[in-house]
Amino acid sequence: MFMQRVIQTLSRWYNLESRDLPWRQTTDAYCIWISEIILQQTRVVQGVGYYNRFVMELPNIQSLANAEEGDVLKLWQGLGYYSRARNLHYAAKQVMTEFGGVFPSTYKDILRLRGVGNYTAAAIASFAFGEKVPAIDGNVKRVGARFFGLHAPIHTIGFQKELFSLLFDLMDGADPNVFNQAMIEVGATLCLPTQPKCDVCPLAEACIARLQNLQKQIPVVAKKQKPKNKYFYYVDIEVGGERVLVRREGDGIWQQLYEFPMIEGDGPDWDLETVAKGLGIVENFVVKGEQSFKHQLTHQTIYARCWYLCISSDKFVLNDGWERLNEADFLLKPIHRLMEKMIKFT
Ligand code: SF4
């Protein structure tokens, strides 16, 4: 009875206090899926614009499946971690071929889509189809750890299994959509990492961390690994009014995105002579400028240096995979965040 009352308080709070967000106005699984993948990459405030543009340009699963990859990446530009956009594109095709063009409606089936993990599948299954399955993102882990007073480190399988089972029991009788949304909202707006707002939290009455004053000790988080340093050397070549770009191949984070010709170094102090030689540039060039950049990714810190060169020779030879583009075509190519920074400097 006591827990039921807490859940009712939580639902009431959510219905009165939650933020009004465009993806909460719909039960369309496609739109919810797009919003969830975008929110893995950015904060809600910025995500709204990306979401609105995405569903306006590609309003349903068919349009996404039929889109060119470059157009999907362009809509994603600025969010980073482009494999998420590629996975969206691939999964839309999967829905067309494996599910007859109809978005799968159960947690188990949604999990079969590429790029969809436990949290996203649970979010879509509960928000769009009302399935009883806890949606556990990073924020809900923190709320759950505090609410149930769990002391296991939150990255461990043991913690995740225990939390799933406790939440599954707790949501008994509740509306799965409202319950999950409310837990996510508590995590995003009240149960903050350093200063939880327990005095206005709808879970306060039953929260173990609050009752035992353990908000600082829980959740238990393992220490993060230090990011690796990488050293990228770029040249922005202007030749005959055009610029040189190359599409990044391989299976790294920026695959299929365009960037200036580059070479990876083994340290921070490579000079232009070494870089030009490494890239096979034999023509004379004029150096118009240079700039260094620091770009932080989750597991890597990239130290990049870009030289801005002008080559006047008509005999300038492009390496394999390099393209000469006029400004209009150049601006249409999907690029990564570091490239955006380098272009801004020119
Ligand atoms: S009472 Fe405090 S610690 Fe507990 S869930 Fe609410 S905000 Fe978090």
Nearest Cα residue to atom 7 of ligand 1: 191
C-beta of 139 in contact with ligand 1 (< 6 A): no
What's the CATH fold of domain 2-211?
Endonuclease III; domain 1 (1.10.340)
**What pLDDT was estimated at residue 345?**
65
**What pLDDT was estimated at residue 346?**
65
Residue boundaries of the structural domains of the chain: 2-211, 228-345
C-beta of 196 in contact with ligand 1 (< 6 A): yes
**What pLDDT was estimated at residue 309?**
93
**What pLDDT was estimated at residue 255?**
85
Taking alpha carbons only, the member of 344, 237, 241 closest to residue 288 is 237
C-beta of 133 in contact with ligand 1 (< 6 A): no
pLDDT tens, per residue, the chain with 346 residues: 788 899 999 999 999 988 889 898 899 999 999 999 999 888 899 999 999 999 999 999 999 999 999 999 999 998 888 889 999 999 999 999 999 999 999 999 999 999 999 999 999 999 999 999 999 999 999 999 999 999 999 999 999 999 999 999 999 989 999 999 999 999 999 999 999 999 999 999 999 999 999 999 999 988 777 889 999 999 999 998 899 999 998 777 788 899 999 999 999 999 999 999 999 888 889 999 999 999 998 889 999 999 999 998 777 888 889 999 998 898 889 999 999 999 876 6
Among 194, 200, 201, residue to substitute to test ligand 1 (most atoms within 8 Å of Cβ): 201
CATH architecture of 228-345: Alpha-Beta Complex (3.90)
Residues annotated catalytic, as ranges: 36
C-beta of 183 in contact with ligand 1 (< 6 A): no
**What pLDDT was estimated at residue 313?**
74
C-beta of 188 in contact with ligand 1 (< 6 A): no
Distance 131 CA to ligand 1 centre (A): 26
For the chain, give the secondary structure using H, E and C: CHHHHHHHHHHHHHHHHCCCCHHHHCCCHHHHHHHHHHHCCCCHHHHHHHHHHHHHHCCCHHHHHHCCHHHHHHHHCCCCCCHHHHHHHHHHHHHHHHCCCCCCCCHHHHCCCCCCCHHHHHHHHHHHHCCCCCCCCHHHHHHHHHHHCCCCCCCCHHHHHHHHHHHHHHCCCCCHHHHHHHHHHHHHHCCCCCCCCHHHCCCHHHCHHHHCCCCCCCCCCCCCCCCEEEEEEEEEEEECCEEEEEECCCCCCCCCCEECCEEEECCCCCCHHHHHHHHCCCCCCEEEEEEEEEEECCCEEEEEEEEEEEECCCCCCCCCCEEEECHHHHHHCCECHHHHHHHHHC
